[in-house]
Amino acid sequence: MPEMMRAAAAEFIGTFALCFFGCGSIVLIAAPGTPGSLVSVAIAFTLVLAVFVTALMHVSGAQFNPAVSICVSLMGKQRWSRTGVFIVTQLLAAGCGVGMLVLLMGGDERMAAALAAARHGASLGVLSDSGNTIGVFGLELLMTFALMFVVLAAVVDERAPKLGGVMVGLVVGACVVGFGPLTGASMNPARSFGPALYGHWDMHWVYWVAPILGAALAAPVYMLVVKQPEQTEQATGRTAG
């Protein structure tokens, strides 16, 4: 299989898993008589990212997020044509992930009601429901900034350890616990797009613009804060000499 097809397939699998398991954990909260809480949602997102980012990062970079893909291209580390393919794949995978939840759960009356109550796992919360655009925008921007900073440090940077998936999962889990009830803690346009396909377009543009801007801002900050590999090697060489 050509490399581009393998990379796109990896992006589809990872994004599908993120939406299927992550949104599924949100639906369980709304289903009567089933175990589920904010902590269980955070654990679900943490685990699925820890596993699939680690498993697929050597194939496609395990981006699973249009904002991440755009930021990687802005840094010159990925061709824009590749990013375009990844974004289309991620959106398709998100729609299929949530669609699979609808297919598997929609036939049961109780679970169908839970799907509707949870808005199919939509990334929405108290602030979005109240129309607080500034609050949602600011929180999603800052959370995506934190996510992208960790992605750059733990996955994109060649010096990163092989535990990058765990680090990415943990920062997403922290954001879900901290601000999930307020905005849904999406940090991912594809993650928001999947449930939106089933009728939940509330404040949808914010869940695109804020994550992309937050990720784009993380790149120059990371470049300023963290020394580049060649700088580190030069400094080490001078010390050793």
Rounded to the nearest angstrom, the gap between the alpha carbon of residue 16 and the centroid of all alpha carbons in its chain is 11
pLDDT for 2-17, tens place per residue? 999 999 999 999 999 9
Confidence (pLDDT) at 234: 45
228 confidence band (pLDDT: 50, 70, 90):
low
**pTM score:** 0.91
Per-residue tokens: 28:
């369980």
Which residue has tokens 């797009």? 193
What is the C-alpha separation between 20 and 131, in angstroms, rounded?
A: 27
- Provide CB contacts within 8 A for 108, sequence distance 6+: none
Residues contacting residue 63 through CB under 8 Å, at least 6 positions apart:
11, 69, 72, 86, 90
pLDDT at 238 over 50: no
User: 136-194 pLDDT, tens per residue?
Assistant: 999 999 999 999 999 999 888 888 777 789 999 999 999 999 999 999 999 999 999 99
Which structure tokens are listed for 207?
A: 């869940």
Give yes or no for residue 227 having a pLDDT over 90: no
Average pLDDT for the chain: 91
Q: What number is the average pLDDT over the span 213-225?
A: 94
Under a CB-based contact definition with an 8 Å cutoff, are residues 213 and 40 in contact?
no
pLDDT of residue 207: 97
Nearest to 155 by CA among 23, 41, 62: 62
Instruction: Tell me which residue has tokens 């796992």.
Output: 121
Contacts of 83 (CB under 8 A, 6+ apart): 69, 70, 72, 73
SS3 123: coil
Convert the pLDDT of each residue in 77-100 to its tens digit. Answer: 999 999 999 999 999 999 999 999
Whether 146 and 175 have beta carbons less than 8 Å apart is answered as yes
Question: How far is residue 166's CA from residue 169's CA, in Å, rounded to a whole number?
Answer: 5
